[in-house]
Homo-oligomer: A and B are copies of this chain.
Amino acid sequence: MTGSQIDRRALDAWIKARRSTFETQLKELVEIPSISMDPSRKADMQRCAQAASAMIRKAGGVATIHATAGHPVVSGGFIRDPKLPTVTIYNHLDVQPADEPTWRQDPFRMSNVDGTYGGRGTTDDKGPALTAFHAACWAQEAGLPINIRFLWELEEEIGSPNFEACLTANAKELSAGGRERHSVVVSDTVWVARGKPAVSMGLRGMVTALLTLETGTEDRHSGLVGGLARNPITELAAVIAGCVDARTGRILIKDFMKKVEKPSKKELDGFVASGFRTNRFREVHGFKSLRTKDHRAGAAAIWALPTFEVHGITGGYQGPGVKSIVPPRAEVKISMRLVPGQTPDEAVRLLTRHVKQLNKDVVVKAQHGLLPYRGPSTGPLADAAVESLRFAFGKKPAFVREGGSIGAVVTMRERLGCDVMFIGLSLPEHGYHAPNENYDWGQASGGMAAFARYFELLSERR
């Protein structure tokens, strides 16, 4: 890695000068309620794609709006020369709904109090998208020998149902550069704490499933049938208890843990170095207690180990008090987060086999699977991510992972044939998916410097 040619003072001055443009553009995007899961927002989704592509074009780039079976995908960027290295920056411009009663402002008017930007989508993910966009504008103005592409999805919050088809259809255009010289950087992740930059090097995968048991046809009075009638809720509770140790979260499904790639000691050290602390985690999320107080074990549990989670049980009586019926049917909604070494297909196969052994009448219906992802933690891309965050924030970042699943990541690696890195800028207090979501100029300006250095480092790849 060469020393930076960037004049840090000049870069900071450039960033400072961009602040009002950044804020105007962020306001424009935030005030378009691009709620992908709300069918009534179809026109807003288009409007958001148009506003975003107009910004790229205004900065001298090219932009295309790709129609899909759902909401569009925006691609484009600053393409200098197909022989140069290429980096694709992935963000999403769709947002979560904002119907929480605890919003202190209209979620779709952007507030700006001394550089703290309030509104739905400010941090997830319009703010980070524009941060990287401005750094790309800087690289373009500075004449860095690199092609910078944007890939802005508008269906991330609904599980990217049309992203893969869009990438497949446009693979040639979007994968120019080839594996060696092309890479993707995703800017949609969260640090553990302010002042503690972190680079994610993996995502958990996921599979969701419904476990259904039907033992009758109608609610029956438990006085009349109780004792002889099978109770589907009771039986499903036993199945759950046979799949997971409720106290520790340990998965009891036979062979399920076999192929799990355990995190290394070094990786676990990194998790703790990121600032992860179970007590803070507990406070931030409002938990009364956790499965462990140990920081290492806690971080491993959310980032590097699979889960068996029960999200709800339907069937039976849900109202106030107790209605003494034996229900005819119950359904458990579960998900399993998966880690490198595991696949949704294999997980479903093992789950189904195990559940059938516990109770042959339970029907397992897998819904929707996402592969886990392990990004590089060594090599030029990882080194570049570490160095650029150190350059911008003055502190060497820790390697962490994401406990969640971003379907687009695996799709991009497969369809574009290149590694995917993560340079996130959001903080826990920014409130991903929460009321009073916000972003701030500190992370935005630092993020611009980080991406500027990242682009410089990538431009040096030969």
Contacts and interface: CB of A to CB of B under 8 A. Distances in A.
Interface of A: 204, 206, 208-210, 214-218, 220-231, 233-238, 240-242, 244-247, 249, 278, 281, 285-292, 298, 301-302, 305-318, 321-328, 333-335, 337, 359, 361, 367-368, 402-405, 432-433
Given A209-B322, A221-B404, A305 B227 contact: yes
Contacts of A220: 285
A323 to B, nearest CB: 6
A403 to B, nearest CB: 5
Contacts of A312: 233, 315-318, 323, 327
A302 B237 contact: no
Contacts of A247: 235, 238, 359
A231 B308 CA distance: 10
Contact of A335 (B214, B298, B322): B322
B292 A228 contact: yes
The SS class assigned to the A binding surface is mixed
Task: Identify the 8 closest CB pairs spanning chains A and B, nearest first.
Answer: A223-B404, A312-B316, A217-B286, A227-B301, A241-B241, A237-B240, A238-B246, A208-B322
B324 A335 contact: yes
23 contacts: A208-B324, A209-B322, A216-B288, A221-B433, A224-B403, A226-B302, A226-B403, A227-B249, A227-B302, A228-B291, A234-B308, A235-B247, A237-B237, A237-B246, A240-B241, A310-B316, A311-B316, A311-B317, A312-B317, A312-B318, A312-B323, A322-B333, A324-B335
Contact of A215 (B287, B327, B335): B287
Contacts of A359: 246-247
Contacts of A287: 215-217, 225, 229-230
Contact of A234 (B233, B309, B323, B433): B309
A404 B302 contact: no
A215 B285 CA distance: 11
Contacts of A225: 281, 285, 287, 302, 403
A307 B216 contact: no
Contacts of A217: 286-287
A49 B334 CA distance: 52
A109 to B, nearest CB: 24
A231 B322 contact: no
A225 B285 CA distance: 8
A236 B236 CA distance: 12
Nearest to A292: B228
